[in-house]
């Protein structure tokens, strides 16, 4: 099988697959899996998978993943997933990692989750240049539905400057409080 697709399409395919799986879930479709693999127009390989599962108590999982290379030493992996628990909790994540022939790489990812007790959202990225210098950052916010309190944290790392982390906590009224 031969697949010809634009690299941006391939990076987004996993997220689209998860959206499709969520739509199928809402439509009551059967659980199952879909997989593809083939050469692409860039002289590399493209492959992917979509999996959907339904639990006996009403929980569900949908996830997708794509991998593409270009025959020149570059590759990208993108993935996404969504879960729903039987009691209404939800979670989702997505990420993409690209590696280049010169050894440089980049990664982006994010997640969110929520249930009756609260919610969390987090996103971050990391890069490595061809010389091996690394930088990373992640921001996270978590909120309690029980107290209304929340925390916002940020972490970054650079091979040149080291690690940095900060966190600020807030009460339900938005006033800064001590983090415990």
Q: What is the 3-state secondary structure (H, E, C) of the chain?
A: CECCCCHHHHHHHHHHHHHHHHHHHHCCCCCEEEEEEEECCCCCEEEEEEEEEECCCCCEEEEEEEEEECCCCCEEEEEEEEEECCCCCEEEEEEEEEECCCCCEEEEEEEEEEECCEEEEEEEEEEECCCCCEEEEEEEEEEECCCCCEEEEEEEEECCCEEEEEEEEECCCCCEECCC
The verdict on 61 and 132 lying in the same domain is no
Task: Indicate the number of domains in the chain.
Answer: 2
The most confident of the ranges 16-25, 32-41, 134-143 is 134-143
% of the chain exceeding 90 in pLDDT: 80
Average pLDDT rounded to a whole number, residues 117-138: 98
Q: In the listed set 101, 132, 155, which residue is the last one of a domain according to the structure?
A: 101
Q: Is the pLDDT of residue 179 over 70?
A: yes
Q: In the listed set 101, 132, 150, which residue is the last one of a domain according to the structure?
A: 101
pLDDT for the residue 30: 54
The verdict on 88 and 150 lying in the same domain is no
Average pLDDT rounded to a whole number, residues 42-64: 94
pTM beyond 0.85, yes or no = no
Q: Which domain holds residue 130?
A: 105-180
């Amino acid at each position: 099988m031969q697949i010809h697709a634009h690299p941006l399409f391939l990076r987004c395919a996993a997220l689209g697959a998860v959206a499709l799986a969520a739509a199928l879930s809402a439509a009551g479709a059967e659980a199952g899996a879909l997989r593809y693999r083939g050469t692409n127009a860039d002289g590399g390989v493209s492959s992917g998978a979509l999996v959907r599962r339904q639990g006996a108590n009403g929980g569900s999982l949908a996830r997708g993943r794509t991998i593409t290379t270009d025959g020149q030493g570059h590759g990208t992996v993108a993935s996404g997933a969504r879960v729903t628990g039987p009691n209404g909790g939800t979670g989702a994540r997505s990420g993409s990692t690209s590696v280049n022939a010169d050894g440089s790489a980049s990664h982006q990812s994010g997640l969110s989750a929520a249930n009756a007790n609260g919610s969390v959202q987090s996103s971050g990225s990391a890069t490595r240049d061809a010389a091996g210098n690394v930088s990373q950052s992640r921001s996270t916010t978590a909120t309690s539905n029980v107290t209304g309190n929340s925390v916002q944290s940020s972490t970054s790392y650079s091979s040149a400057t080291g690690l940095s982390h900060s966190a600020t906590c807030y009460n339900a009224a938005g006033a800064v409080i001590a983090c415990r």
